[in-house]
Amino acid sequence: MAKRFLFLLRRGPYDGLWTKECLDMLLTAAAFDQQVTVLFSDDGVFQLMSGQRPRGAGQRPFATFLGALSFYDVDALFVEMESLQERGLKVEQLVLPVQLVARNDVAALLDEQDVLVSC
């Protein structure tokens, strides 16, 4: 039976391998037909910035990893509104279509899930 998973991504895209590994878990869950929701908050919203151009050898813009989400039919993507506002960002600047959720409503979103994975 499918469970409801929420992945809370709250680190910047170049702050170590945390998010990359969390995405691997996320895509695995999705590949096994679990119901997956993603919430970007805090520095996690920086993962969604368009125009990322890392120069280092072997480095790829983080957004290219996020492109896999739609391939796995993960389309429940939420961004915490206050995290964007605090960083001077607007939803139009993000690479994926997302739904905004207010900080006050995050608890309710977490409440709907069976499993929470946070990184």
Partner 1 sequence: MAVLHVVSRSPWVSPSLQQCLHRARKGDAVLLSSDGVYAALGGSESARMLGAVLADGIDVYCLLPDLEKRGIVPSQLGEGLETVDYDGFVDLAVRLPRSCSW
- Interface characters, 6-35, with partner 1 (x: CB under 8 A): -----xxxxx--------------------
Verify binding: residue 54, partner 1, rule CB under 8 A: yes
> How far apart (Å, rounded) are the C-alpha atoms in residues 26 and 50?
21
Looking up tokens 């979103």 gives 109
100 by DSSP, 3-state: which? strand
Verify binding: residue 67, partner 1, rule CB under 8 A: no
Verify binding: residue 58, partner 1, rule CB under 8 A: no
Q: Which two tokens stand for residue 92?
A: 């139009």
Verify binding: residue 46, partner 1, rule CB under 8 A: yes
Verify binding: residue 82, partner 1, rule CB under 8 A: no
Q: Which two tokens stand for residue 103?
A: 């900080």
> How far apart (Å, rounded) are the C-alpha atoms in residues 33 and 10?
24
How many residues bind partner 1, per CB under 8 A? Answer: 23
In the complex, the residues that contact partner 1 under the rule CB under 8 A are 11-15, 42-43, 46, 49-55, 59, 61, 63, 85-89
